[in-house]
Structure 1
Amino acid sequence: MKAAFKKYSLNFKQASGTSRGILKTKETYFLKLASANKIGIGECAIFRGLSIDDRPDYEDKLKWLCNHIHLDEAVLLNELIEFPSIQFGLEQAFLSLKSSNPFKLFPSKFTEAEAAININGLIWMGNEAFMNQQIQDKIEAGFSTIKMKIGAIDFETELKLLKSIRASFSSEEIELRVDANGAFQPNEALEKLKKLTDFEIHSIEQPIKQGQVEEMAELCSKTPLPIALDEELIGVFNVTKKEKLLQIIQPQYIILKPSLVGGIKGSEAWIRLAEKQQIGWWITSALESNIGLNAIAQWTYIFRNKMPQGLGTGSLFTNNVKSPLEVKQGHLVYSKSENWNFNIL
């Protein structure tokens, strides 16, 4: 078996704002395996500034992987424990190699274009007019769940935007989620959460920065609306530590991004622990190209989780890999015409 990787830069159609800054490009790596006239393709979707494996030796680790691809998969994944995005890329590539179709990793009614995945519409940060236009566009596109990133502009302006949605749509018509990306200070977070309750918010993701375990635990115990851990899960490799983190914080939800939390196996460990403690969960992409998004979507479908998932990011880029993934009426669907174009790989 042979392995090789290729760096690729995804370009956003328009600059996308988060509490960490403005995103114009997204770096990623494609991993390709070749064996006995078959190929396997995966994506190692590092997220600069967020991934625990955003390290100077990232490409060195990819080179090591390619030079040691003859080793058992379990051995490789263990060696890559501190590089979750590479773990996920390798898992994808092996599944792809073993499949009769390199892009159907988890065959199901979804990949046969007979079922869809309910997803949320994502509203990026920006000025009031820009965010309001996005909200209108998502509603017109048929989304019943909207996730709005908050924390970068004036909080009162953000509340005004939420109020405008609720003035036209009840919580039965439009479910609202907000994502603070850790933007709130611990001493102000509870009061801000109380203000958000006026708009019947489904949940808030990561209200304060990760790593403040005691503060997050206190916030989860007092919160007037459900809290979902996101960045908090990054960099927790050991199963015992994962379980302890959930036991201490006791969140209402956790959000799983396979590229950030250890791929399929790492995410499934979180799911088992969450369900054991009766903690809800859903799955979200992390700005992967359609290669990674394809794998996440197919894997997500097999759980039959009825909550809206965060998988609507494929249309953000001008130079994405052409694929059969489409967003229709607030759902991710797999087109019957498997129109893959992987020349860039």
Structure 2
Amino acid sequence: MIAGCDLLPYRLALGQPWRSARGELAERRGWLVRIAAGDWTGFGDCAPLPTAGTEPPARAAAALAHWRTDLAGRSPEEALARLAADPMPAPAARCAIECALLDLLTQARGLPLRTWLAPGAADRVAVNAMLGGLGTIAPEAVAAACRAGFRVLKVKVGLAAPALELTRLTALAAALPPAVGLRLDANGAWDPTEAARFIDGVAALPIEAIEEPLRTPRVADLRALQARAPFPLALDESLHDPDLHAALVGDPGALPVRRLVLKPAAIGGLRATLVLAERAIAAGLEVIVTSLIESAAGLWPTVQLAAALPNQPPHGLATAAWLRRDLGEAPAVTGGAIALPERAGSGFRPSAETREAPPGQELGRELGQETG
């Protein structure tokens, strides 16, 4: 039975600002969820980010407090069932509680979380490098990513005039070795005319995909752009648009693009994301799983989920290096991939400071963070 559920607030500084057409982040704030039952302790991470499709922080805090009370004294299995049946609209909080419960449950059963999600899950997950905004990328960073074995480099675009960005992308592409592609993320920067011109301008470059090209994601416009593009267009935040969300949950094959980007914290958990991903893959779409630059407690279960999906392009999970410090050891990237351990649970192991923190203590400053 669940003996306790602690909510530990944290504030983790980024090593450099995370910039996109939707704004800028200098730190990540959230709550580490710690659930104990018997000899086991499970962890989850609630780091809401409304611009990415989650609930606001105040709603997340209320949902966490509600579920902490509701789950007390129940078995992990009963708690998971009650969580799934609760309609409260708080996907980041729901995901955090579910991850902690699944971490707890799979530790008790002696199974890696990915194997519980899918018996044939892989032990290695290919990931893309995240280089940041196009205008801030140094040639040394590109060379280092290629030497490290990454075959897909993700770049934020839509931050400057399209003509200037096309010039910068042409120069960047000229420096790439063979078989390395650029994954561009516009974060809804363009109108349909701007997006069409941009797609035409990069058609001859090694573009692996463009995510979120449109400021207003109309189905007809997206379909026309995908027909124009020689590479996949992908939807991420726009999947919360009513029309696109209806297609996602009803008929993924009717979506007007070739790729989906799924964030468990925005969808509401690993299990819900897995269901959507499997249906989309069956309909012929590609699926990428990405993080929200969460702490290691959130990144580990997301990597486990990615390992449960068959033969997809590199996932967006090499984000731990953006944090100056972390709440525990993050998944290591070697040769452009994350190798998952055989140990039971999600794989997250808290640092000594995190493990011993009393309920309510803010994490971050105690871990040497700059939290100002």
Give the Cα–Cα distance (whole angstroms) in 1 for the partners of residues 63 and 295 of structure 2: 21
Give the Cα–Cα distance (whole angstroms) in 1 for the partners of residues 47 and 112 of structure 2: 19
Assess if the C-alpha contact under 8 Å between 2:166 and 2:198 holds in 1: no
Correspondence for 2:165: 158
Change (3 A) 1:342 1:258: farther
Correspondence for 2:257: 251
Deviation at 1:142, TM superposition (A): 2.5
Correspondence for 2:124: 116
Of 182-191 and 322-331, more deviation after overlay is shown by 322-331
Equivalent of 1:44 in 43, 46, 54: 46
Correspondence for 1:22: 24
Give the Cα–Cα distance (whole angstroms) in 1 for the partners of residues 111 and 134 of structure 2: 35
Assess if the C-alpha contact under 8 Å between 1:324 and 1:335 holds in 2: no
Assess if the C-alpha contact under 8 Å between 1:234 and 1:261 holds in 2: no
Amino acid at match of 2:104: L
Alignment: residue pair count: 338
Give the Cα–Cα distance (whole angstroms) in 2 for the partners of residues 183 and 280 of structure 1: 23
**C-alpha deviations, 1:199-249, integer Å up to 9, x for none?**
131210010136533432333344343211111223769985524574543
Change (3 A) 1:126 1:175: closer
Give the Cα–Cα distance (whole angstroms) in 2 for the partners of residues 40 and 308 of structure 1: 27
Equivalent of 2:313 in 307, 311, 326: 307
Residues 15-164 of structure 1 mapped to structure 2, 5 A cutoff: 15-54=17-56, 56-69=58-71, 70=74, 72-100=79-107, 104-106=112-114, 115-125=123-133, 127-128=135-136, 130-164=137-171
Identity fraction in percent: 22
Gaps of 5+ in 1: 109-113
Change (3 A) 1:104 1:336: closer
Deviation at 1:141, TM superposition (A): 2.5
Give the Cα–Cα distance (whole angstroms) in 2 for the partners of residues 154 and 235 of structure 1: 26
Assess if the C-alpha contact under 8 Å between 1:210 and 1:231 holds in 2: no
Assess if the C-alpha contact under 8 Å between 1:324 and 1:340 holds in 2: no
Task: For residue 89 of structure 2, give the secondary structure of its aligned residue in structure 1.
Answer: coil
Q: Does 2:176 align with 1:169?
A: yes
Give the Cα–Cα distance (whole angstroms) in 2 for the partners of residues 36 and 115 of structure 1: 28
* RMSD over equivalenced CA pairs, Å: 3.0
Assess if the C-alpha contact under 8 Å between 2:83 and 2:98 holds in 1: no
Amino acid at match of 1:183: A
Correspondence for 1:6: 8
Change (3 A) 1:340 1:32: closer
Deviation at 1:27, TM superposition (A): 1.3
Q: Does 2:290 align with 1:288?
A: no
Deviation at 1:310, TM superposition (A): 1.1
Assess if the C-alpha contact under 8 Å between 1:47 and 1:54 holds in 2: yes
Correspondence for 2:278: 272
Task: For residue 106 of structure 1, give the secondary structure of its aligned residue in structure 2.
Answer: helix
Task: For residue 199 of structure 1, give the secondary structure of its aligned residue in structure 2.
Answer: coil
Give the Cα–Cα distance (whole angstroms) in 2 for the partners of residues 38 and 247 of structure 1: 41
Deviation at 1:4, TM superposition (A): 2.2
Correspondence for 1:343: 353
TM-score, normalisation: structure 2: 0.81
Deviation at 1:40, TM superposition (A): 1.6
